[in-house]
Amino acid sequence: MPKLVIEDLHLRYGPVEVLKGIDARFEEGSVVCLLGRSGSGKTTLLRSIAGLEEPYRGAIRIDGRPVYDAGARVNLPPEKRDLGFVFQSYALWPHRTVFENVAYGLRLRREGKAEIAAKVQTALDGVGLGALAARYPSQLSGGQQQRVAIARALVYEPPVILLDEPLSNLDAKLREEARIWIRALIKRRGITAVFVTHDQSEALAIADQIVLLDGGRLVQSGTPEDLYERPETAFASEFMGSNNTLTVAVEERREGRVRVALDGHSLWGLDRRQGPAADGSAKAVIRLEAVRLAEGPGENRLPAAYETSIYLGSQFEHLFRCGDQTVRVLSDRRATPGPHWLECPPERLWVF
């Protein structure tokens, strides 16, 4: 049985429809990323799960128990849902010490004094802050505050923890470390985590399941590999990774494959169109790293004129021109001016 189920969830702010019917199920013990641009509804969905926003239709169930169900008129207040929540700004209470911040949830659950002290200490040790219990939040660095916020959300052992862009206030180096230890911490505890981010590389790194949202709707849900390698829509394919998006003319469709023309050259690609076939022009997407520099003409290759390069450190990014369209290619070799051949493997050229 899935841990967390969301059914046909609708929410609006005044006249603006923010969530337009979200259906999703999250398995026990998995780390789920809600991914999307700003305004996609990902934070609103997270806050709805926590009970901080009120949807008007649909249902949210945790362990089969409805915490919100419009049909049954169930809407538990946040404090009855027994969840952990880590805010983007951390929301540590500035008038309480680190210990008191973490202990508050236990005090509300009327635990004994000794038990509270022990649990808080364990939680703080778990995030590597055991020695800082007596400090006030203002005396901590951003990274330490984030750890306190996580300890505060985990200390009363909620079955589900919700994190709203918890890494966005950290600098780049700290962010990369944090996503590794947060994932390790959640996995060690075996709890279900729902994690909001707008950063696709963060989502790929941290998640067991990614839920991609756009404009208040669910675009695609699956493993990071599913989303990166098998995007179902043009939006999903373009949102993940770095891509070349090309306008092509459809020539022939056969058994899930499609032959398209780009600047007069034919290429085979995967037919990813949804709904009825529209003839004429289509959108082809290929990841930068999928395009290969080839020595000469051949199957699924097309001629291109070299324009310029930028050096990225680990490799080069070259810019080529095919007719009136540009194609970017990653390569560990320098390229020289003049004509080149680019190979686009058919299984990695997606035509929508």
Interface positions with other proteins (CB under 8 A): 50-52, 77-79, 81-85, 87-89, 91-95, 104-105, 108-109, 152-153, 156
For residue 44, give the nearest of 222, 239, 216, 219 by alpha carbon: 216
- The DSSP symbol for 189 reads H
The minimum distance between CB 79 and other proteins, in angstroms, equals 5
Report in angstroms how near the CB of residue 75 gets to other proteins at its nearest.
Answer: 12
**Helix residue ranges per DSSP H, 65-168:** 98-108, 113-126, 142-154
88 versus 325: smaller Cβ distance to other proteins? 88
Q: Which two tokens stand for residue 223?
A: 């493993």
Q: Would you say 105 or 231 has its CB closer to other proteins?
A: 105
Q: Cβ of residue 158: shortest distance to other proteins, in angstroms?
A: 9
Q: Which is nearer to other proteins, 18 or 204 (CB)?
A: 18
Least Å from the CB of residue 226 to other proteins? 31
Alpha helical stretches, state H, 5-140: 42-50, 98-108, 113-126
d(CA 73, CA 75): 7
- What backbone torsions phi and psi does residue 52 show, to the nearest 5 degrees? -90, -15
User: In this structure, what token pair is assigned to residue 37?
Assistant: 């641009």
Residue number with CB closer to other proteins (77 or 296): 77
E strands, 183-300, are 192-197, 209-214, 217-222, 243-254, 257-262, 265-271, 281-287, 292-294
In the complex, the smallest distance separating the C-beta of residue 164 from other proteins, rounded to whole angstroms, is 9
Q: Identify which of residues 153 and 322 has a Cβ nearer to other proteins in the complex.
A: 153
